[in-house]
Amino acid sequence: MTGSRQTQRLSADEAGIAAAAELLRAGRLVALPTETVYGLAADATDDRAVASIYAAKERPSFNPLISHLPDIDAARRQGLFDAPALALAKAFWPGPLTLVVPASSACTVCSLARAGLDSVALRVPSHQVAHAVLQAAGRPIAAPSANRSGRVSPTQADHVFADLDGRIDAVLDAGPTAVGVESSIVACLGGVPRLLRPGGVPRAALEAAIGQALVIVEEGGSAPLAPGLLASHYAPRAAVRLDAEAARPGEAWLGFGPEPNGALPALAFNLSSTGDLTEAAANLFAALRRLDDRGPKTIAVAPIPMHGLGEAINDRLKRAAAPR
Ligand code: TXA
Ligand code: MG
């Protein structure tokens, strides 16, 4: 995909906003200004569009992404807000705060954007241009920071071009962002809310809004977590056997590319029969979940090549296969 598309610079006027929303509705990638940093935006309801975010960023793993909404009512249709979540949303939205909450039964954010989890990260940005695009797009928009993996987050359109020119469809240029650091992320999944990432809203302000101290969670840190509460990695109940040549008796089969000779088990899914890694990424979490829901002891997984999105797919599969 490198250099294969023309990246347009759209101006932050009515025409540019309409063009950005149209591209997003068509499953394309657009860098959008927010008050924190520029985000690499795609339709959060479309696994394939979300897969192309990871491809453009060359992200080596599928972290769950933040879905952006135009207002609190739209956000509340996607997630279940307990009292602290509601207090935080009312105090800081629109603004640089992300809330991780249980997904509602009406949630339309796709499983890849949620990395297969039952929770969803929601944010209502305050940037006027972002708001206008979200309103026009009419669906949740996933957006991690618009930089290549491992580079610093972009606070100007030119930073986005430096990292992603030729890899995305457009950059909506609204000048430098105001906040410059990413949103604060608070998980409200029952019990005391947890600060997952310090960011644009100071911790003291967050704590004042809920009238209690937040639990601080450092990524990879040793804070005691209720099992399954905060796990930011989806883990199937079945054991996962990687780099399998074929399913053994009783195993479910997760294939990639042309199937091996011989009969497939009844419980089988192919991530991409043509060996397309973007399609495979788009299918990954939904496929694991679909197989796992049928209760197999083990899911055997075909080898997935390590190039392109294969690295991220293998990263997730390795976590899914880790002993628990
Ligand atoms: O300011 C921002 O938040 C920017 C702008 C563009 O809005 N976006 C941003 O997105 O920083 P990103 O993808 O770089 O950060 C998403 C973070 C990741 O650290 C991810 O692990 C966490 O949110 N996250 C998302 N969903 C989660 C979930 N269900 N459970 C736990 N963590 C989650
Ligand atoms: Mg980032």
The structural domains of the chain, with segments of one domain joined by +, span: 8-216, 239-321
The bound ligand whose nearest atom lies closest to the alpha carbon of 150 is 2
Query: For residues 60 and 149, is the Cβ–Cβ distance under 8 A?
Result: yes
- Mean pLDDT, all residues of the chain: 91
What is the crossing angle of helices 83-92 and 203-210, to 10°?
130
Output the CA 200–ligand 1 centroid distance in Å. Answer: 13
Q: Which superfamily, per CATH, for 8-216?
A: DHBP synthase (3.90.870.10)
Strands in 39-43's sheet, in edge-to-edge order, are: 8-11, 170-173, 30-32, 39-43, 141-142, 66-68, 119-123, 97-102, 184-187, 194-197, 215-216
Output the CA 65–ligand 1 centroid distance in Å. Answer: 5
Residue 121 bridge partners (DSSP): 66, 100
Does the pTM surpass 0.85? The reply is: yes
Residue 298 bridge partners (DSSP): 239
Residue 181 burial (CB count, 10 A):
15
Q: DSSP character for 19?
A: H
Output the CA 256–ligand 2 centroid distance in Å. Answer: 29
Highest mean pLDDT among 180-184, 231-235, 246-250, 312-316: 246-250
Ligand 1 interacting residues, C-beta cut-off 6 A:
34, 36-37, 39, 63-66, 96, 98, 100, 114, 117, 119-121, 123, 143-145, 182-183, 185, 196-197, 232
Cα–Cα distance measured from residue 23 to residue 26, given in angstroms and rounded to the nearest whole number: 5
**How confident is the model over 261-314, as pLDDT tens digits?**
878 999 999 999 999 998 998 888 889 888 999 999 999 999 999 988 888 888
Decide the pairing of beta strands 170-173 and 8-11.
parallel
Output the CA 29–ligand 2 centroid distance in Å. Answer: 16
